[in-house]
A and B are shown apart, each in its own frame.
Chain A
Amino acid sequence: MNNQPILEVQEATKSFGGIVAVNRVSLDVRDGEILGIIGPNGSGKTTLINCITGFIKMTSGKVLFRGKNISGKPAHKIADMGITRTFQIMRPYYSLPCYKNLVIPLFSPRAKRTGGWRGGGKLGDRDTVGIDILEEIGFERDSFVPYKIASTLPTGYLKRLELARCLALKPEIIICDEIFSGLSMSEIASMVPLIERLQMDGITLIMIEHRLRELFRVANRVMVLNFGEKVIEGSPEEVMADDKVKEVYFGSEEVEEVMSHA
């Protein structure tokens, strides 16, 4: 881990009519670290990453990726540079089998550039690569799960499929939008090592999360948003100890629980 910020957001602001969803939020992520973003519902977390990834246009502010201004670029260009994201509400291609879901990112210009695998062909190279990625992410190769139509899969697998779609692009940054939500305890328990391994592989992660305990285990730094503004940023311990965070999460049992364990 070095200290060069890989992604820098300067004073990002997004307003929908009169409502300011994200208000002058700045952040920087260093190469290889995991940044957690937490905050109550409606605090602008998803809007912020929508701005970063180009899915919505910022009202004002700047996003720098390795020192290059990428604000205002279309979403596919940003993904092409290696900033990938998962969606909070999973967006698989429901009518396609799981491994065919990965043919689409593998067909993208970035994958063709970075991957080095030969395209299409009679041997079905992309299919094979797709199954390899799925195995990496926790789909049993010899089971029938990778071959099932995506619409028949349970939430846990769909969340993994979201991650797999990002991995197929050989990303530099993965932005996970609530990758743990809606999962059972055991599913989360098997997901955490996966996140840790991604970090070991040198991928920078930004994680929006409501599951604080798991997040605090993996995150290097945590940022708290409330009403679209940054409340505090720091190490998990600092954030937990802060009075303003307790105020934001007033009444939230989980924070108290986490804090009592701290």
Chain B
Amino acid sequence: MNNEQRRRERLDRGIKVRTDGLYAIMSLRELCYLTVPRLVLIVGMLVLPLVMPSMYWQRVISIVCIYALLALGFDFLAHFVGLVCLGGAFFIGVGGYLAAILNTFLGFPPVVTIPIATLLGGAICTLLLLPCLPLRGVYFAIVTLMYPLVLMRIIEALNILGGTDGIMGVASFANRWIEQYFVISMVVLFLFGLRRLVNLDIGLVFRAVKDNDQAVRASGMNITFYKAIAVFVASCLGCLGGACLVHIYMWSGISLFALDFSILPIAATVIGGAGTVVGPVLGCFILVPISELLRAFGTLRIVFYCLILVAFIVFRSEGIMVYGQRKYHQFERWVTI
């Protein structure tokens, strides 16, 4: 009988270990190992609007970035704080309507409306979600899914804020270059900002809440407070996206509460690699353009879209970035045991 089995062994590359500390600045090779992936990402995103063939595709890039902001917020909440939030559309809607109101009724330019809509929207979303914060897991997910639906029906039924027609005549960005580079720089900023945040001491508290909230309580910390901070960060991201979206489309309507904004970021996170922060952004850059390309198939678009999603989940369930980071940092070999 043959008891020998083969197993894949994974080992960290020497260069990964060397670049962990101060030794990273000892040689060009190590420096490149650290900086090239980040530079590729940043430069790639900055070049993207220049290489797009048409205005239509440039607009797609802006939309991708808005989804990326949402996906960043989702990944942060779900994998670093343990709150699975299906309320992406809620954040977009609140941010969008706030920006539209500030712009059309009060006459503020986008430079003012976007920061205000981001911070104020984040505060409003956090306040509204406050009663749900003690909930965990699937319960929190279901409740947050309800929020955009509720707001949408309220606007529709009471016929406030333009009712089903929405608020029209919202000012646009000064020109399309400003529009694109603004959203792109926001994505890059928050991408690296969040990565920094989760490794700070307060970020460790967030991760601890995910791992074991009872132990955090036993450490003398109010978990609801820290969850509220995390939700504020994520909802600010969403509201920023919403405010940009409204200024891009020059219109704010109840379609801002559409389910797409809640679901697509999750799909992007699954495809890109959960818990990597950069994965969800990558996922958006794959999913949204695919969905645009598939428009050629007309009504069958969703079918192909689903097939692609299923294929990803079956064959690469860990996500692109998790797979990519593993290949980058480790080498594999077969050992017999």
Q: Give the B-binding residues of A (Cβ under 8 A).
A: 53, 55, 74-76, 79-80, 84-85, 87, 91-96, 100-101, 103-105, 107-111, 119-120, 126, 165, 168-169
- Given the contacts A76-B223, A119-B201, A120-B201, A84 and B218 also touching, CB distance less than 8 Å: yes
- Given the contacts A76-B223, A119-B201, A93 and B215 also touching, CB distance less than 8 Å: yes
Q: Which 4 A-B pairs have the closest CB atoms?
A: A79-B220, A105-B219, A91-B215, A93-B211
- Given the contacts A93-B208, A96-B211, A79 and B219 also touching, CB distance less than 8 Å: yes
With A and B bound together, what is the CA distance between A101 and B207 in angstroms?
10
- Chain A residues near B215: list those with CB within 8 A: 87, 91-93, 104, 165
Given A76-B222, A105-B219, 12 extra CB contacts under 8 A: A74-B217, A76-B221, A87-B214, A91-B214, A93-B212, A94-B212, A95-B207, A103-B204, A104-B208, A105-B220, A109-B220, A169-B220
User: Is residue B200 contacting chain A, with contact meaning CB distance below 8 A?
Assistant: yes
Q: Can you list 30 residue pairs at the A/B interface with Cβ under 8 Å?
A: A55-B217, A55-B218, A75-B217, A76-B217, A76-B219, A76-B221, A76-B223, A85-B218, A87-B218, A91-B214, A91-B218, A92-B215, A93-B215, A94-B211, A94-B212, A96-B204, A96-B208, A101-B208, A104-B205, A104-B208, A104-B215, A105-B220, A107-B201, A107-B202, A109-B220, A110-B220, A120-B200, A120-B201, A165-B215, A169-B219
With A and B bound together, what is the CA distance between A151 and B136 in angstroms?
22
> Is B217 a contact of A95 with CB atoms below 8 Å?
no
With A and B bound together, what is the CA distance between A196 and B323 in angstroms?
49
Name the contact of B201 in the complex, choosing from A76, A92, A103, A110 (C-beta under 8 A).
Answer: A103
User: Is residue B216 contacting chain A, with contact meaning CB distance below 8 A?
Assistant: yes
Give the shortest distance, in Å, between B76 (CB) and chain A (any CB): 15
Number of A-B contacts (CB under 8 A): 83
Q: Which residue of B lies closest to A101 (CB)?
A: B208
> Is A104 a contact of B204 with CB atoms below 8 Å?
yes
With A and B bound together, what is the CA distance between A70 and B315 in angstroms?
55
With A and B bound together, what is the CA distance between A126 and B205 in angstroms?
13
> Is A104 a contact of B219 with CB atoms below 8 Å?
yes
> Is B211 a contact of A95 with CB atoms below 8 Å?
yes
Q: Which residue of A lies closest to B80 (CB)?
A: A95
Give the shortest distance, in Å, between A167 (CB) and chain B (any CB): 11
Q: Which residue of B lies closest to A79 (CB)?
A: B220
Interface of B is mostly: helix
With A and B bound together, what is the CA distance between A120 and B205 in angstroms?
12
Give the shortest distance, in Å, between B178 (CB) and chain A (any CB): 36
Give the shortest distance, in Å, between A75 (CB) and chain B (any CB): 4
- Chain B residues near A165: list those with CB within 8 A: 215, 218-219
Contact digits for B211-243, partner A, Cβ 8 Å, 1 yes 0 no? 110111111111100000000000000000000
- Chain A residues near B204: list those with CB within 8 A: 96, 100, 103-104, 107
With A and B bound together, what is the CA distance between A107 and B202 in angstroms?
8
- Chain B residues near A100: list those with CB within 8 A: 204
The interface centre, meaning the residue of A84, A85, A91 with most chain B CB atoms within 10 A of its CB, is A91
> Is A108 a contact of B217 with CB atoms below 8 Å?
no
With A and B bound together, what is the CA distance between A101 and B202 in angstroms?
12
> Is B219 a contact of A96 with CB atoms below 8 Å?
no
Give the shortest distance, in Å, between B333 (CB) and chain A (any CB): 22
> Is B221 a contact of A104 with CB atoms below 8 Å?
yes
Give the shortest distance, in Å, between B201 (CB) and chain A (any CB): 5
Give the shortest distance, in Å, between B229 (CB) and chain A (any CB): 13
- Chain B residues near A74: list those with CB within 8 A: 217, 222
Give the shortest distance, in Å, between B198 (CB) and chain A (any CB): 11
- Chain A residues near B214: list those with CB within 8 A: 55, 87, 91
Give the shortest distance, in Å, between B200 (CB) and chain A (any CB): 7
With A and B bound together, what is the CA distance between A104 and B202 in angstroms?
8
With A and B bound together, what is the CA distance between A76 and B223 in angstroms?
8
- 8 Å CB interface, B97-129 against A: none
- Given the contacts A93-B211, A95-B211, A104-B208, A109 and B221 also touching, CB distance less than 8 Å: yes
With A and B bound together, what is the CA distance between A110 and B220 in angstroms?
7
The interface centre, meaning the residue of B212, B215, B220, B222 with most chain A CB atoms within 10 A of its CB, is B220
